[in-house]
Structure 1
Amino acid sequence: MTYKALKLSFVFTVGLASAAVAQECSPKIDDSLLTEPGKLTMAVSPTLPPMAYAESDGTLKGLRIELGVELAKRLCLEPDFISTEYATMVPGLKGGRWDVIDAGLFVTEERLKILYMIPYENLAISISTSVEGAEISSVEDLSGRRISTDIGGYAERKMRELNVDFEADGLEPMDIALFDNYATVYQALRAGQVEAAVSIDPVAKLYQETGEFTHALSGMYATPGSLSFDNLEVAEAVTAAMQEMNEDGWLPELMGTYGVSQADDGEIRLKGPNL
């Protein structure tokens, strides 16, 4: 990750919610393990309403923001959110720029070799089209079309794998346009630069509810989304807090509010190297 990329990130607080978590209790993670003493620093991508997004005044909202605030509260820390692109998240974590990736990184075998991950949200890939655009009712209908998705993510990987399948079946591959985040993925669709946008179910569902796009396909290649860490002790402390909020009902209620199902049948487990 370049210095320029970091400079283009913005640190957000969550208004009064941040002050509310400054409780008189002992932090459950030692300052020596944290990016900033007394703070849980989390990388987010606020471009995915309703999962994480920024209002016009910079206030962060969404499922992952509420989760991050509650985690910090239970750990007796102050929540700090850093907005950044997905491509910078793992390098930034490895470089000590943040403590947690709170962006629903898809759990893959490759990532589990280098990251500690807590799968908690069940996500699947969706296809969106313009309301009067391409008729897409099956995966095969994507053949030969120009599509947009986020660079370096699970969706890009699955679309490239689908292209291999298309070519093996004698079908024309998709022309895949890559963008830094889902906001620009959908901007490309809005501008007519692509015929379909590839995102995740909650994002595509929300865009359909606004009436701007059609949620053409959903539930594709379902896989867990996670909180991700580089430090095992930090990961274990967060896992304990997640298990607590799962057992007392806070986490299931949050997930239900956003219409997102829990991964791993609702069990909270830490996964990663040698675990």
Structure 2
Amino acid sequence: MLNFDTLWDYNHPEETEQKFISLLTEAVESGSNEYLTELLTQIARSQGLQAKYELAHETLDRAESLLNKDLIVARIRYFLERGRVFNSSFRPLDAVPLFLQAWELGIQSGEDDHAVDAAHMLGIAEATSEKRMEWNLKALAYAEKHPKASRWLGSLYNNIGWAKVENGNLEEALELFKRALDFRKDQGNSNSVFIAKWCVAKVLRLLGQVEESFAIQKELLAETKQTTNPDGYVLEEIAECLLLLNRNEEAKQYLSLCYDRLILDDYLVSNNPERIARIKELAGK
């Protein structure tokens, strides 16, 4: 049967969901509860990424009904995806115990990749910055020692970097983002490289290295213009650089374009309305 994990496109979860659903009949007919249960967990993940939380829980209920103690990987993936749906729907207190179960079962069974996935999610879902950092560092140490989990290194460098930014440790954050960029380049995923460059540039701006930051963001803007509409977050950073360079009229133009794109980002609008309001005001909207 097809390895459905190869079908994942995290940027297009709706398309991924349909690809997974098309495999369901074959999965049922195969008689393999393990394959079917794991497939259901990934359908639920694709639904959660579309904010279809109720439907995702229904899919996970179906997966849960098939679980038994012998389906180790399926159980880990069930815990992970139920936790992710809770966390994405702003219920981290419900998510944390599930991630802990996934971590513990992953360690016990030698499922290193899933174990680090769970630890990295605890580094997102835990209630305090201290706990989040503790789990991120634990995940990083484990991933560095276990080759089967090495794909997580880029994400962990990134997550720890943002925690360092939050704590004001900008030099340490910059070093981590540079490590993440090197890792992403080795992986060869252009989208991940793009994001890693953006992170480096943003921290350079925060460190006062505005010209260098501005140059990187302009390169990123040129990339997006070749393939799609300009990226709203890149436009925002270019505007911030221009404001610091006292080029306010130019900044206003970029802020206007930025607002038109970021106002469509439901997550940002819901979780950071002050940021959207500031962009709108500076853009003169």
TM-score range, shorter chain: under 0.3
TM-score, length of structure 2 as denominator length: 0.24
Greater RCO (CA < 8 Å, at least 6 residues apart)? 1
**How high is the TM-score relative to the length of structure 1?**
0.25
The structure with the largest helix share of the pair is: 2
